[in-house]
Structure 1
Amino acid sequence: MDGINGMDGMDGMQQIWARIETVLGRIAPKVLAAMPPGATEEEIGTAQAVMGVEFPEDVKVSYRCRNGLPGVLIGWHAALYSLGQMVNDWRERADDAGDPPEDDREADGVIRRDISWSAGWIPFIGIGNGDVICIDLDPPTPERRGQIIDWSHEGWRARYETAGLREFLREFASDLEADRYEVDDAGNKWSDNGLPLLSLKATG
């Protein structure tokens, strides 16, 4: 499914994308015009098969809407991966598997602490310094499946971000609507494919 047509049955994931696109059309039309269409069912199925996972439904719905979001630094992070970028990053993370230091293994019931990296942590935003934002499909308890975590290569630790991709993108849409993002048209910052770059405004 392309774009935001139809109902998603997930408390408004398509509506969230509609909000995002509305603001981008106003403040960064070049970015909106460059947004990729939604992923096909085959592309979603292939990504899941390669990584050996089943995405939560809201993740599938989001990627049916748009297969990535170049030119936008979401939060203080980076651009939303396409499924292809997600799989490539996930493959590279296989070398990160191993045991964390003993003093970092204390269970907290939120994120697995007995490992330094899990194949069930699905990267969907790469920060560029080795850190990644992930969809957690290997949490310590089933009800936390799909939560968003921020994994740091410094200390090989992860921290909780939000309950899921829907909440993550909803917060991004709200920040866009609240004029918390600025557009760099001059190319003075890094951007994907020469697009203008959207990033959070610096706070004093």
Structure 2
Amino acid sequence: MLNTEQFLSELSKRVPLEFMADGAYEEDFKPIETVAGYILPESFKMLYALHNGEKSGEHLLMLGFYWMSLQDILYEMKGQLEIAEEYEFDTISYQKEYIQEVTWSPGWIPFAADGSGNYIALDLTPGVHGKVGQIISCGRDENEMCELHYTLLGESTEAEMEAYTEYVMGER
């Protein structure tokens, strides 16, 4: 089994460090936890303690999305929650009852963005059959959401983590 520390070690082998921002501090997580109404998982905090996203101007390290800083996450969460208060979009989940079919959930923590309002997010408020910590697609153009992977929380096999790391970060 590959744990979070081993995953981070594998990740650091594949991502050029010159593209990565310095790590976050414990107090940097509190504003996000306040807006979300949830405590962020330790594995998420460990990842951001290592690197608080990409450096400004460096983009597209994750599936063509950029890795957001905690400050960007907070800004986008607030914006999406404001939109969700005013508008309701027809949103469906490919995996019925795994992802909430709502415009935006406070428990969706976007950590990667395409710059056009679409995100890859940590889901702390899954549907009845989903798992806390699943990774989902969501956002403006994501009317049909899907679970991308479930590895951020808990343990996964070494092969699953390696495949996920290669998929998200690509061989570099």
Q: Same fold (TM over 0.5)?
A: yes
Aligned counterpart, 1:184: none
The Cα shift of 1:79 comes to 1.6
Identity of aligned residues (%): 24
1:46 maps to: 31
CA contact (8 A) 1:20 1:176 kept: no
Higher RCO structure, 1 or 2 (CA under 8 Å, sep 6+):
2
1:132 is aligned to 2:133: no
- Provide the residue aligned with 2:98 in structure 1: 110
State which of 2, 7, 21 in structure 2 corresponds to 1:36. Answer: 21
Q: Is the alpha carbon distance of 1:141 and 1:105 closer, same or farther for their aligned partners in structure 2, counting shifts above 3 Å?
A: closer
* Residue of structure 1 equivalent to 2:76: 89
Cα offset, 1:121, TM superposition: 1.2
Q: Per-residue CA shift, 1:106-135, capped at 9, x if unaligned?
A: 98121112x222122111111122211111
Change (3 A) 1:109 1:176: closer
Partner of 1:120: 107
Paired with 2:49 and 2:9, the residues of 1 have a C-alpha distance of 13
Q: Classify 1:143/1:104 alpha carbon distance in 2 versus 1 (closer, same or farther; 3 Å).
A: closer
Task: Identify if the C-alpha distance between structure 1 residues 145 and 105 changes in structure 2 by more than 3 Å, giving closer, same or farther.
Answer: closer
Tell me how far apart the structure 2 counterparts of residues 107 and 170 of structure 1 sit (CA, whole Å): 24
C-alpha contact (below 8 Å) 2:99/2:130 kept by paired residues = no
Match of 1:68 among 43, 53, 60: 53
Looking at structure 2, the residues matched to 106 and 45 of structure 1 have their Cα atoms a distance apart, in angstroms, of: 32
Q: TM-score, normalised by structure 2?
A: 0.75
Amino acid at match of 1:94: L
Residue 146 of structure 2 aligns to a residue whose secondary structure is strand
Partner of 2:131: 144
Structure 1 counterpart of 2:40: 55
Which position in structure 2 is the counterpart of 1:7?
none
Q: Give the corresponding residue for 1:160.
A: 147
2:84 matches 1:99: no
The answer (yes or no) to whether the contact 2:11–2:165 under 8 Å persists in 1 is yes
Flag structure 2 segments of 5+ consecutive residues without an equivalent. none
Q: Distance in 1 between matches of 2:43 and 2:93?
A: 30
Shift in Å, 1:40: 1.2
* 1:155 Cα offset (Å): 6.0
| 8 A contact 1:16–1:169 mirrored in 2 | yes
Structure showing greater Rg:
1
Assess if the C-alpha contact under 8 Å between 1:75 and 1:172 holds in 2: no
Match of 1:174 among 162, 166, 172: 166
Change (3 A) 1:153 1:46: closer
Name the aligned partner's letter for residue 122 of structure 2.
I
> Is 1:14–1:65's contact at 8 Å kept on the other side of the alignment?
no
Contact 1:122 1:135 in 2 (8 A): yes
Contact 2:65 2:112 in 1 (8 A): yes
